[in-house]
């Protein structure tokens, strides 16, 4: 089982891909659940990674 703290920062492309896979797994999470909190964190981490690493 994944926890909200599983991803603190996305450093490598493999980290990014794992986070993206997890995002897809929980993208339908209901508001107020641990998965919805994880989803919001993943969105932020994915955006930061993309801004830093994608042109």
Kindly tell me if the per-residue pLDDT of 2 is higher than 60: no
Q: How many residues does the chain have?
A: 55
The pLDDT score that the predictor gives to residue 6 is: 74
pTM, whole model, 2 decimals?
0.84
Task: Determine the Cα–Cα distance for residues 55 and 52; give it in Å rounded to an integer.
Answer: 8
Task: Determine the Cα–Cα distance for residues 18 and 48; give it in Å rounded to an integer.
Answer: 15
Kindly tell me if the per-residue pLDDT of 5 is higher than 70: no
Q: Which domain holds residue 40?
A: 4-53
Give tens-digit pLDDT for 45-54. Answer: 999 999 999 9
* Structural domains in the chain (count): 1
The CA-to-CA distance between both ends of the chain, in Å, stands at 33
Question: Of 51, 27, 52, 37, which is closest to residue 7 (Cα–Cα)?
Answer: 37
The pLDDT score that the predictor gives to residue 55 is: 75
């Amino acid at each position: 089982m994944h926890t909200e703290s599983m991803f603190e920062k996305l450093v490598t492309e493999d980290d990014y891909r794992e986070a993206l896979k997890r995002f897809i797994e929980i993208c339908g999470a209901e508001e107020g659940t641990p998965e919805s909190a994880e989803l919001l964190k993943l969105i932020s981490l994915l955006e930061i990674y993309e801004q830093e690493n994608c042109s």
